[in-house]
Amino acid sequence: MTGLDSKLVERAIVTYPGMFPNFETAIVRVKRVIYFKPEIKTKSKLHMTLGHQTVMGTCQFFSVPCGEEEKADFNNEE
């Protein structure tokens, strides 16, 4: 984009109206915010944010199979 200084942008997405459909359920990979100290369990109600929209949601956590933790590289987003 002409005139955009990429050093001023940390994250961005270019989109158009209707690109993201409404949904009630999603399966997503999450990472814990290190500053959030309370324990988070399945059926916890948390604020969930996508873009600039925040809603309350109930969590259902899945886990990596036992012994597979070291193989799961969650920091390597492709």
pLDDT in tens, 26-57: 888 877 788 888 888 889 898 888 777 888 99
User: 14 or 71: whose pLDDT is higher?
Assistant: 14
Confidence at residue 78, expressed as pLDDT on a 0 to 100 scale = 44
What was the pLDDT predicted at 34? 85
Closest CA to 48 of 27, 34, 64: 27
Domain positions in the chain are 23-73
Among 75, 30, 22, 74, which Cα is nearest to 48's?
A: 30
What is the model's pTM?
Answer: 0.46
CA–CA gap between residue 72 and residue 33 (Å, rounded) = 18
